[in-house]
Structure 1
């Protein structure tokens, strides 16, 4: 049944498909549980507007292959007006993509053991590792063997590092304080692989579209490492939900 109730924020959350030893990527295992759900905003710690009620947020989840060419093909469509979601990787949803675009896009990928990590930035070049289909990252036209972004995708008008407009430090401060702290830390190292690659591509497309759509990348730990303290799929999904709720809460206070 289609849900026609009003929501203020439409948020896209992506996870990755299989790669390496992961037949099911931990990021997608968590992200897919959030699909087609409605959550509410959380105000920034210590700054709730007087008399304000929480705003509703609708989440759409998308599975993106751990493949460079798939990222390059898919990301421009996700930032379009209206966004175009690839049907092959999109579960059924009660709501079509918003005509004026998503208000927030969050990408989630797996990293090493530890807490969730909110990434500040993404890199334009320095990529070398092959993807799930054993394809190398694209070579930049006119730059010899340098791989990453440049012509013909994102040329000199885009910086070597792109930074999220989300106040990551404030976000982490809010969510790691109080009676129910979230295991979350900041990071400046998204890894020069598909996580870094999709983040740069998404930040560049947001900049190109000119709508200032906030983009954020979250690293989650691998699930099921017997030798490490780990987070469950449910805990990762709850962490991502709380991050989205907090980011949208700050958008409400602009």
Structure 2
């Protein structure tokens, strides 16, 4: 099966990282819940979980100033799920709700950002996904099953949308939040060209980072839709993002992947903090 990388003992225990002191209060802290996948097919080790488990437990940074936001330092806490998610539709459909429930029980609130990561074997670049589809998961998982019974069938019964993106609860609430935003409140929106600029600003030089409109209709897109659907059905902000990383597991590639993932989180905080009208969900 291979080494998944350094494990953590609980939802709140993290791989040690560099955590600079911060004057930001806990109420302003941005919490991020992160998952990565386990092995599948010829990928005996999954780079997404190696990258996830290498992330620091917290960091502080100053968002890039824009006309709608300032550069007030933000402290970010990262909570990595302590084991890789099996590449199986049935497991994802039951595990993701349980992970969110456990997080709420442990922290008293939902995370500000949910970030799922997976590998894209044919891509040599990093890509953030823009949308996830409800139907069409026909490729077999590690259990030899397609995704209809554990996803599409249930989602159709709930009359969920054919496609979901990051976004606020409803368009009407979107307006009220923008008119009178809570302090530190993030307004999720799908990544766009401005987001890509911010992400690349935080990435190491020459990083090939892109926006993708095709998450692959396999477990990566399935977990993305599962999280978005859970938020949508539960009446919560769809504060979910998905990062595709290259499959290579060399030490230097995992280190770069860690820096790119941190840059993505910084870009999400920066973009979602802007008090501007988001893209249509």
Q: How high is the TM-score relative to the length of structure 2? A: 0.71
Q: CA deviation at 1:103?
A: 0.6
Unaligned runs of 5+ in 2: 1-12, 14-18, 20-24, 168-188, 276-281
Task: For 2:153 and 2:115, locate their aligned partners in 1 and report how far apart those are by CA, in whole Å.
Answer: 23
* 1:90-101 to 2 correspondences below 5 Å: 97-101=106-110
Q: How many residues align?
A: 226
CA shift, 1:43, in A, is 2.0
Query: In the alignment, what sits opposite 1:19?
Result: 40
Superposition RMSD on alpha carbons, in Å? 2.8
**CA contact 1:14–1:61 (8 Å) conserved in 2:** yes
Which of 44, 65, 72 is matched with 1:53 structurally?
72
Query: Deviation digits for residues 134-192 of structure 1, max 9, x if unmatched?
Result: 2332338xxxxxxx4233x4535311111123341122122235893542111111111
- Counterpart secondary structure, 1:40: strand
CA distance in 2, matches of 1:82, 1:68: 21
Structure number with higher helix proportion: 2
Residue of 87, 98, 104 corresponding to 1:77:
98
| Alignment correspondent of 2:145 | 135
TM-score (norm 1): 0.78
After superposition, the C-alpha distances for 1:64-115 in whole angstroms (9 at most, x for unaligned) are 111111111012233448536xxxxxxxxxxxx4211111001100002321
* 1:10 matched to 2:34: no
Give 1:151-166 correspondences, 5 Å limit.
151=154, 153=155, 155=157, 157-165=159-167, 166=189
Provide the C-alpha distance between the structure 2 equivalents of 1:9 and 1:199, rounded to a whole number of angstroms.
Answer: 20
The whole-number CA distance in structure 1 between the counterparts of 2:160 and 2:252 is 36
Q: Which runs of 5+ in 1 are unaligned?
A: 85-96, 141-147
Alignment partner of 1:248 is 2:269: yes
Of the three residues 109, 116, 124, the one matched with 1:114 is 124
Which residue does 2:5 correspond to in 1?
none
How far, CA to CA, are the matches of 2:138 and 2:102 in structure 1?
Answer: 33
SS in 1 for 2:59: strand
Q: Is the 8 A contact 2:114 2:241 kept in 1?
A: yes
